[in-house]
Structure 1
């Protein structure tokens, strides 16, 4: 019986050693600060992460050695905070008493890395749905970003965070420059 306990303990310890728990990744987004402002409009804002998994990065080194990276805080909340600052710079105040709502839904957000002996391949994908609901109607649009990268040596934690940050900042920039969204907000808030 002792023999089985020793074997089970050894297997458990080796499993823990091959899949170390990674510290969470902090994401820093840069909202687009507008030079022109709207006429003091107000809106509510909500966000959710509807992905089936909550991790944002996976590094597969083969031989069943997979590392998973979690965000330091909910990525939907991170994106919402950045978009709130961006809208505030445009003169659109986010307040719980507004009659209109902007709902953010994170549908995809993953940095997938295949780590080889001398190089890694990184494929990143982000998809965010934005739904604006006003008393006059609804406007919805999906924003997405993708990137691929192949680099020598071993991937770093910072590479994973930077890839997702670049995509999220790209979507923030796309939202800031979306004439269709601007027109809907101006005419319906």
Structure 2
């Protein structure tokens, strides 16, 4: 009897540990060829304040909604992309500066409803940026959304493409935001 219980326990644990589908999340920073700042430095921090860590919910209509996670840590991937963007603009990211930029990921999710015949994806990404210096603080929220419908069911690659595209659009909006860039350029010296 003990062997049967042990075998059943091992089988159950093995079934629970089978890997679920994951999305390859590789955000692409928007880099600048011309530098807009010189001798401006700041410390970069980030937080992921989402209530759940999955980046997609797939509803196949069978009373089952499957969460899908990213292979990479979303917070770290976004922070690295933002760091690359600001460094390409001429800003120096240092460990201990009196100036700071905090990235807060508030929402990053693709909702997928699909059947054998069609699929509908709705994506939303919200990232809040707080730039702070002894001379003041600027808080900006960047939002990206996308809606996509297509024939047949959605693949993991389809979800991956939509998620990466929306995040990349938010990063591009952040990199090209003149108010944020000007604020940092004027106040992040010393």
- Tell me, yes or no, whether TM beats 0.5: yes
TM-score (norm 2): 0.86
Query: Cα RMSD between the aligned structures?
Result: 2.0
Match of 1:66 in 2: 65
- Offset, 1:21: 4.8
TM-score, normalised relative to structure 1: 0.87
Structure 2 counterpart SS, 1:184: helix
Contact 1:22 1:67 in 2 (8 A): no
Unaligned 5+ runs, structure 2: none
Structure 1 gap segments, 5+ residues each: none
Q: 1:33 aligns with which of 22, 31, 49?
A: 31
Partner of 2:158: 159
- In structure 1, the residue matched to 2:79 is 80
Aligned 8 A contact 2:58 2:111 in 1: yes
The answer as to whether partners of 1:104 and 1:131 remain within 8 angstroms in 2 is yes
What stretches of structure 1 move > 6 A for 4+ residues in a row?
none
Could you tell me whether the CA contact under 8 Å between 1:144 and 1:171 is conserved in 2? yes
Q: Is the 8 A contact 1:21 1:67 kept in 2?
A: no
Query: 1:114-125 maps to which residues of 2 (within 5 A)?
Result: 114-125=113-124
